[in-house]
Every structure is written in C-alpha cells, then in structure tokens.
C-alpha cells in the first residue's frame, strides 16, 4: 500500500525566511507528484505538478523537486510572506486514476 | 476556462437524516470526477471516483453512495447519516491527458452530523 508522509506536521517561520517542506513516498512507480495549498475551511488549490520524467518545476517563488530514487519531493517557498500561511499537501499518483495524499504541513509565516 | 461548483458550503444534519451533496463542472467534457472526505486532523480520503456517466468506483465501504447522472454532475448521497459521517467533503475533477493530469477541487462542504 502506498504511503505518503509529510514532515513536519506544522512549521512556523518569520516573514522573509525560506520554507522547505518535505514529502516522502514508498512506491517508486510514480506517474506524477502534485503539491497543493489549502486555506482553512477551503478546497485545495494546485500549486505544482511534477511528472515522473521531470526533476523539478518552478512557479514564481515556488520550486518543487522530485527524487524518485530516494522517494522524496521537496517544496521550496522563497522569501516567505504572511499570505503563504496555509496547509500544504503533496499527493502521489501511481497506477490508475487515484492520488494518495500526505497528511499536510501547516505553515504559519509570522510578520 | 473550467470551473467546479460544489454546494452547499456548510450543512448541519441530524443523525438518521438523508444527505445529498452536488458537484458540477463547467467548461470541459468527460472529466474524471472524485469525492474526497477530510476528517479533522486527518488527510484526504478518496471515497468515490467516476470516469464516465453511470460509472462509479467505491474506495472504502461506508454509509455513502455516489451517482453521476450527467457527464459533468457528481452527487454524494446517504439514506441515513451517522455521526461518523461528519467531515469536510471535497469534489474534484481531472482531465485525462496521460501523466500530466492535474486535480482541481471545489470549495468543499463542511458537514456536521449531530
């Protein structure tokens, strides 16, 4: 059974500091890995999707990397802002149409 | 552009009452559709997914059912709600394009069963 783990569960940083969020998965047969943002009481917003053939994806201050051999993905958020405060979830896609989600990392950026 | 609508946003229901949550997608055809539940302090659990009209796959045994009466409409139902059905329910869709299929979520329904 595929497991996706996100550590830490919660993270608090001062504004301006870079954020590093980790996601690990147990199945190396990956199709893609997706990072989402969720604000309290809201749905999920897709941030970045990395295909199995890629090593990283970038969008603005966000950069996500994928290392299939070690079963890890990392989301970097540069120069964090209070508006970056949210829960960040990674989701792993292997065979079929289903994603397996991690438990999320709750981020607080203090002004 | 594609949009997904999910309603209601919040719902408070007594134990034993029926449930119907509706989700519709606009701006695309033949999407894959999903229902997820997010319980407090836990990750997202896939409940149902559908690859076409009338085609429903259930991921976990439960008190809920799903239907897809139209291409872009996905309904989550229950005949009699249990306390354990409380949670945050999310509808999502994806367009099959091989590996690069992003998942797009609705705004969610917070269900409280009392």
Query: Residues of chain B with pLDDT > 70: what percent?
Result: 93
Distance to chain B for A51, nearest Cα, Å: 6
> What pLDDT sits at residue B75?
97
Nearest to A46 among B32, B90, B103 (CB): B103
Write the pLDDT tens digit of every residue in B66-113. 999 999 999 999 999 999 999 999 999 998 765 457 889 999 999 999
> What pLDDT sits at residue A13?
95
Give CA separation, A72 vs A36, A66, A92, in Å.
16, 6, 10
> What pLDDT sits at residue B100?
56
Which residues in chain A have their CB less than 8 angstroms from residue B94's CB?
97
Tell whether omega for the bond before A8 is within 30 degrees of 0, i.e. cis: yes
pLDDT at A4 over 70: yes
Kindly state the average pLDDT of the residues A1-10.
Answer: 87
Which residues in chain A have their CB less than 8 angstroms from residue B46's CB?
98-99
Write the pLDDT tens digit of every residue in A12-66. 999 999 999 999 998 778 888 999 999 998 999 999 999 888 999 999 999 999 9
Spatial CA neighbour of B19 closest among B91, B85, B108, B107:
B85
Mutation target vs A (from B101, B106, B107, B110; most A CBs, 10 A cutoff): B101
Kindly state the average pLDDT of the residues B32-41.
Answer: 87
Which residues in chain A have their CB less than 8 angstroms from residue B43's CB?
89, 101-104
Could you tell me the two tokens for A98? 């289903």
Nearest C-alpha in B relative to A93: B99
**Residue A1 CB contacts under 8 Å (≥ 6 apart), including other chains:** none
Kindly state the average pLDDT of the residues B50-66.
Answer: 89
Mutation target vs B (from A88, A96, A98, A99; most B CBs, 10 A cutoff): A99
pLDDT at B61 over 90: no
Kindly state the average pLDDT of the residues A87-107.
Answer: 87
What is the rounded CA–CA span in Å between residue B21 and residue B114? 17
> What pLDDT sits at residue A93?
87
């Amino acid at each position: 059974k595929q497991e996706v783990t996100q550590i830490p569960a919660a993270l608090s940083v001062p504004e301006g500091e870079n954020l590093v969020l980790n996601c690990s998965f147990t199945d190396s047969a990956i199709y893609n890995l997706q990072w989402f943002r969720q604000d309290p009481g809201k749905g999920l917003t897709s941030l970045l999707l990395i295909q199995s053939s890629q090593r990283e994806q970038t969008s603005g201050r966000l950069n996500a990397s994928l290392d299939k051999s070690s079963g890890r993905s990392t989301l970097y958020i540069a120069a964090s802002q209070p508006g970056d405060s949210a829960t960040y979830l990674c989701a792993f896609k292997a065979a079929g149409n289903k994603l397996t989600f991690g438990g999320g990392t709750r981020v607080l950026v203090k002004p | 552009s594609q949009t997904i609508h999910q309603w209601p946003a919040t719902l408070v229901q007594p134990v034993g009452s029926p449930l119907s949550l509706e989700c519709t997608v606009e701006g695309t055809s033949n999407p894959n559709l999903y229902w997820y539940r997010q319980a407090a302090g836990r990750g997202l659990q896939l409940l149902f997914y559908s690859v076409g009209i009338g085609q429903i796959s259930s991921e976990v045994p439960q008190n809920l059912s799903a239907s897809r009466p139209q291409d872009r409409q996905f309904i989550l139902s229950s005949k009699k709600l249990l306390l354990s059905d409380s949670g945050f329910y999310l509808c999502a869709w994806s367009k099959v394009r091989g590996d690069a299929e992003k998942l797009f979520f609705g705004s969610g329904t917070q269900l409280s069963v009392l």
